[in-house]
Amino acid sequence: MASSSFLSSFSFCISFFLFGVVSGQLSSTFYDTSCPRALSIIKSAVDSAVSSERRMGASLLRLHFHDCFVNGCDASILLDDTSTFTGEKTALPNANSVRGFDVIDTIKSQLESACPGVVSCADILAVAARDSVVALGGTSWTVQLGRRDSTTASLNDANNDLPAPFLDLSALISAFANKGFTANELVVLSGAHTIGQARCTTFRDRIHNETNIDSQFATSMKSNCPSSGGDNNLANLDTTTATTFDNVFFTNLLSNKGLLHSDQQLFNGGSTDSQVRTYSTNSATFFSDFGNAMIKMGNLSPLTGTSGQLRTNCRRVN
């Protein structure tokens, strides 16, 4: 009898454990029943925002990346400062740079009207990133859903975890490896710079002082980013098709026209040169690899189950 009771209890514990593991996993069908219009609401809002300002597509993609690389995909980047913590918005990689918060606010408001307390801010970021790429002519991928939102944020972690635009290849590889990414995934995710813009402060040293840069390209950039002043002046990361998600970013690297030092490091006589060449001539391979890498990034330490919360307002804890 004791043995039977033990086995019954043991079986229950195993079943409970397995259920917990399964229920804690992300799923592409997570909102099919609880909020069946969730994905269409997000897509409509993203399409509208990108139609009004094509640069917004790059901004929403970047929001997801800057969220996930700091303590996982938990929407911590959206939190405003409070009396108990200083958030990530004023971190060096984010201040005067990360944008798109109003678009996320709009999406959240629409979702709260359609199905209150169901869709997390972290999931909104993940889906909006995918829909932004598609809106700019890029690839699609199946977004896994079921993340929950953090109740805190960290300025220090944002400053320490987000790769700087001044890093050499070895430091870039290490920064991505710390998050579980391979060198190949570093290259493909960097391809997100085929859209968007950068501030003068992030590329001034490259265009004025580096030698592995196309001279005409550097000259054209200097008028917009002088040796002093104009810190917030913007330049396209991909100077050819900055509002279209394509593989031209990699073609630019072959000609030493990478705007950021960190970007040109991907093609600078190192171990990632061959992959840059491949993507520069094969957009289908780039698109496929990018989608897979984005799925992996979206799985960085998500809060699931009963962890965290579902914020009603993405900017503050409930």
* Catalytic residue set: 66
- Annotated binding-site residue? 305: no
- Annotated binding-site residue? 168: no
The closest of 230, 162, 244, 161 to 199, measured between CA atoms, is: 230
Q: How many CA atoms lie within 13 A of 41 on its CB side?
A: 21
- Annotated binding-site residue? 238: yes
The helix (run of H) or strand (run of E) holding residue 197 is strand 197-199
- Annotated binding-site residue? 72: yes
The closest of 131, 128, 108 to 118, measured between CA atoms, is: 108
- Annotated binding-site residue? 246: yes
- Annotated binding-site residue? 70: yes
- Annotated binding-site residue? 240: no
CA 242/CA 225 separation, integer angstroms: 18
Q: What is the CA radius of gyration of the chain?
A: 21
CA 173/CA 163 separation, integer angstroms: 10
- Annotated binding-site residue? 185: no
In single-letter form, the type of residue at position 193 comes to: H
- Annotated binding-site residue? 239: no
Q: Which residues are annotated as a binding site?
A: 67, 70, 72, 74, 76, 88, 163, 193-194, 238, 241, 246
